[in-house]
Amino acid sequence: SPSQKLVFNRVNGKRPQVFSHQVSAPEECYTLAHEENVRFIYEAWQQVEQQLDGSRNGESTCGPVQYVEKTPNPGLKNFVPIDLEEWWAQQFLAKIENCS
């Protein structure tokens, strides 16, 4: 069978608006609700980390418990978790180098 072709129909038959100048990346805009959610999650996670640190130091007997596998998967023996902050920094620097 012949390969299928993607077809994009114009809205109301109009041509898409074309800008003659290069448009920079749009600024991210966050709603108040988004910022409140991020703040809530950040503060809640900070509390969990403090409680985990306290339980490691013997200050607390209750609270969050960090999961540790009893029998680790041998296939993950050489697994190294990615440092997302470092990865994003590398991506950012690569974009800067490519633009200059």
Rounded to two decimals, the pTM is: 0.39
Q: What are the pLDDT digits (tens) for 43-60?
A: 999 998 888 887 777 766
The burial of 26, by beta-carbon neighbours within 10 Å (0-12 exposed, 13-18 middle, 19 or more buried), is given as exposed
Per-residue pLDDT tens digits for 6-40: 555 555 656 555 555 555 556 678 899 999 999 99
